Amino acid sequence: MKVLIIGSGGREHTLAWVCARSGLKPAVFCAPGNGGTAEIAENVYINVGDFKEVLNFVGKNSIDLVIVGPEAPLVDGLADVLTSNGCLVFGPGKQAANIEGSKAFAMQLMLDCGVPTAEFATFTNLDAAKRYILNNENALVVKASGLAAGKGAIICSDSDEAVSTASAMLEGGKFGEAGKTILIEELLTGMETSLMAFVDGEDYLLLPPSRDHKQAFDNDEGPNTGGMGAFSPLDDLTPENTAMIAKTIFPPVLKKLTELGTPYSGLLYPGLMLTDKNTADKGVKVLEFNCRFGDPEAQVVLPIMTQDPLEIMLAVAEGKLGKWMLQNNLDKHNWQKLTGGQHAATVVVAAEGYPESYVKGMKIENLPEETDNVITFHAGTALKNADLITSGGRIVAITGLGNTHNEAVTKAYSAVGEVVIEGTRYRKDIGRKASQ
């Protein structure tokens, strides 16, 4: 079997890692991959933005399955091009991927099928946005509707900041095309949660819930990033809570997408806010949808799976997820059967200055060796001659595994302390709240 993974980040290294360990024993190619994937797969330097070039590579190399890691190629329609030419793809088509590509589409979808979310309004005109802001005195979130690499949601403490943020997007060109349509939403408070699922039409299989840490600095301070660390599973969500939340979200959304003629296939990941810790459904509200694995959520969820993720992704691509679940005696909500009770935590080492400007090309030294309970996933790394150097804002994610949450966190931080890269930083509080 031959697998091609599209992408170059920590998520893609994690996907390559699980594929390399799969019982299907595939040959794994990564386009373009990174310094970490080069150790376990073959990096191929094709232009993944040129779908014809990707298609040619798939044909010439007899690729059996293409796994698309990042959202942009999916939103641009790579899966459609490949499937229309007879290729198996893990990832949704362009119209279904619009659930992430357009926050305006996703919010309207939730409104239409009764999925709980924030109060919102959509704007392309700054004057209309200003009027809405001035009539809503509470704290607001201003979001770019399009793709903004996880950095397009700005929490605004007052109306002046909200107007300034809206102006920067609609008239100042912040986030480019992604910010030409904006959403202004009520600010929801509570505990954020990621709930990913393998999806094949209206069939779905939950993965263990996880929690990302978006802000750049400790105590959830500073600007939003692509994610500075994560852990899974969660002590504040029982399996019963998780099943109830999933039933509120997945069936109506998947049914509606099917009715719209865009059935979903791939990984669907709603970002949630749990607004009430005392209710059975935790007062869940959906913040957004993503059409691919979370990053760094993939780095904690995939390593604790006892079932073969590649086998599941292949079943999804073949339209056989329901059959696979039946054969393996798995209920769609029984995520704990996928993990064997293991816990994981990951800490991202980032370049100083990230998510704004930062220096690249710094030498990376003393990365921890992989063990049964520590794994290093590369994100912004590259090989230059014989040296491993930094090539992005998020450089590596160090994942610790354990039988308890505290053990996983301790393993991750012990390993992070070994890393030597000039001009970097990492959060010191990943998973700490859950440890108290």
Residues 325-371 have pLDDT tens digits of 999 999 999 999 998 899 999 999 999 999 999 999 999 999 999 99
- Residue 39's domain is classified under what CATH number? 3.40.50.20
Q: What is the pLDDT of residue 247?
A: 97
Q: Give the DSSP H/E element, type plus range, for residue 281.
A: none
- What global pTM score does this model have? 0.95
Residues contacting 85, CB < 8 A, separation 6+: 55, 59
The answer to whether residue 109 sits within a structural domain is no
CATH, residue 390: 3.90.600.10
What is the rounded average pLDDT of the residues 376-398? 96
How much is the pLDDT for 190? Answer: 92
Check whether residue 313 and residue 230 sit in a common domain.
yes
Sorted by sequence, the CB contacts under 8 Å of residue 199 that are 6+ apart come out as 250, 254, 264, 265, 266, 267, 268, 316, 321
Residues 171 and 80 in one domain: no
For residues 157 and 227, membership in a common domain is answered with no
Cis peptide before 239 (omega within 30 of 0): no
Q: Is 55 part of a structural domain of the chain? A: yes
Q: Which helix or strand (DSSP H or E) is residue 320 part of?
A: none
Q: Tell me what pLDDT residue 136 has.
A: 87
Is residue 305 located within the same domain as residue 353? no
Is residue 132 a part of any domain in this protein? yes
Contact 199, 316 (CB under 8 A): yes
**Are residues 324 and 286 located together in one domain of the fold?**
yes
Does a structural domain hold residue 110?
A: no
Residue 106 lies in a domain: no
The per-residue b/e assignment along 126-153, b for 16 or more CB within 10 angstroms, e otherwise, is: beebbebbeebeeebbbbbbbbbebbbb
Task: Work out the burial of residue 424: count CB atoms within 10 Å of its CB; fewer than 13 is exposed, 13-18 middle, 19 or more buried.
Answer: buried
- Number of domains the chain is built from: 4
Instruction: Note whether 274 and 216 are same-domain residues.
Output: yes
Q: What residues pair up with 211 in beta bridges, in sequence order? A: 231
Q: SS3 for 149?
A: coil
Q: Helices 94-101 and 103-113 sit at what angle, rounded to 10 degrees?
A: 100
Beta strands in 11-64 (DSSP E): 27-32, 42-43
C-alpha distances in Å from residue 371, one per residue of 25, 411, 430? 21, 11, 21
Confidence band, pLDDT 50/70/90 cuts, at residue 436: very low
Residue 432 has pLDDT above 90, yes or no: no
Which residues partner with 191 through β-bridges?
274
The boundaries of the domain holding residue 17 are 2-93
Strands (DSSP E) found in 295-362: 343-351
Query: Is the confidence at residue 183, as pLDDT, over 80?
Result: yes
Q: What is the pLDDT of residue 18?
A: 98
Q: Which two tokens stand for residue 36?
A: 């970490």
Of 130, 151, 186, which residue sits at a domain end? Answer: 186
Same domain, 430 and 354: yes
Same domain, 211 and 279: yes
Query: What local confidence, expressed as pLDDT, does residue 433 receive?
Result: 74
Residue 278 has what pLDDT? 87
Lookup: tokens for 326 = 């039946």
Residues 412 and 386 in one domain: yes
Could you tell me if 156 and 265 lie in one domain? Answer: no
233 and 327 together in one domain? yes
The per-residue pLDDT for range 136-176, each reduced to its tens digit, is: 877 899 999 999 877 888 999 899 999 999 999 999 999 99
Q: What is the pLDDT of residues 29-64, one digit of tens each?
A: 999 999 999 999 999 999 999 999 999 999 999 999
In this structure, the answer to whether residues 179 and 198 fall within a common structural domain is no
100 lies in a domain? Answer: no
